[in-house]
Structure 1
Amino acid sequence: MRIHVDIAMTMESKGRRFELASQFSFMEERLALFGPSGSGKSLTLHAIAGLLTPDNGVIRLNGDTLFDANAGINLPARARRVGFMFQDYALFPHLSLRRNVTFGLTRWGRPISPAQAREVDEMLELFGLAEVQHNLPGQLSGGQKQRAALARILVLRPRILLLDEPFSALDAPLKAVMRAELKRVLERFNIPLILVTHDPAEVDDFAQAVVLYRAGTVVGAWTRAEMAAAGQSLEACLATAFQEE
């Protein structure tokens, strides 16, 4: 994966002003955006996905320009072919698990093709969801909801997976299970990952490179190899994001 982000934006809400300046470039397949809550990690992820528009800057993925303010390029989210999973999974509460998974495959209400239906069947089997595929999201466990959200993304064959605090809503035992599940998915689909987290254990588990955020600004960006070569521990690097202003 080649990812280049150099964006800036100003957001105002309820009399408060937040300025984001996010810059990093990596070739690694698995990247973590790490820092305290409200430091700009999720805003950056939304900008990569095309869910919000920066004021200026560029975003490039594998040589393709997703956003370039000066050139007037701003690909719509669907055209970017990125898989985005929200913190709350964003499943449609009135649709069955199966219809949630197939939702992105539909066009203007047309039914999916037999080949697509077989892909959905395979995805439900892979995630252990076949037996509950007709249940509504409110009838699913936390782990089943997360698996459904992942299945809905992966059936579209995205070129990158963007996860925003994917384990924050889970208790400790289920969190460990779902981390192992995600590792299995990444290996099976061989898909790059950008993970937003404030949990050092998740960085340790998944990231080949880490971007540190504090108060809307990137305060450090390293690969694991660069940390090792400099004699820096992962723990020391991550602590930078939580230093006092």
Structure 2
Amino acid sequence: MNAQVNLDIVRRCLRCERDISHRAPQARYCEEAECNRQRQLAHGRASWLKTGEKQRTKRRAQYAEKMARRPTVYIPCEICGAEIIRKTIRTKWCSESCRSKARHTADPDRSRRSVAHWRAANPDRARDVLERWRNENRDRVRAQARQAALNRKLWKKASGDGISAAAWLRLLRRFQWRCAYCSETPDTGPLQPDHVIPLSRGGAHTEGNILPACSRCNKVKCDRLIMEVRTGRRVQRRRRPAETKIKNKSS
């Protein structure tokens, strides 16, 4: 008569004493690497383990000898031009800083997208971080605001004569006193003149580059193009240096 197996007996690993009741009846060790090594040693496979370690040591020595025989090749860094040793085919930059600059040059919107994604996911924390930074750098914030106002004034002076009151009134009548972007009549204040191509991106301060916009759309658009607002991707165009534009205008 067949002997009945007692299913209530818990079998444990001989090394770590884990429950191995779910394994085969002949199993004595669990699936851990050290326990498998102990099982191999218990079954007389120590020589096989030593052979594998010898082979790995031999391959490491062969690779080190191959790298020592390889001639030293010097290449310039793609960013700063410094001379570096070409270790692999992917070696292109001399430091992590140059690597970051290269990545930013290839995809300038990458950092902006990551920051925008983090701000959208953490609005309260982003607001606190911005407020704390402004409180700790009040002098820098004031200096940046003064410089931005000065640049805008210089760009306006260098790029056009602006828009007259009659032309602005004609523009408002053309859009029926509504915002050119959202087609709504603003309740918070009057319509504001917005530059279709921002002054900082090379736009002219003329009638052909101005549209009426509500304060919300004007703030959302900021220094971006309409296509950039709709797609969320920034078209790379060099910012206009105020001094150079003024010199060109005066010449």
The structure in which a higher percent of residues are strand is 1
The structure in which a higher percent of residues are helix is 2
Do the structures match in fold with TM over 0.5?
no
Shorter-chain TM-score bucket reads under 0.3
TM-score normalised to the size of structure 2? 0.20
Structure index of larger Rg: 2
Higher RCO (C-alpha under 8 Å, 6+ residues apart): 1
TM-score normalised to the size of structure 1? 0.20
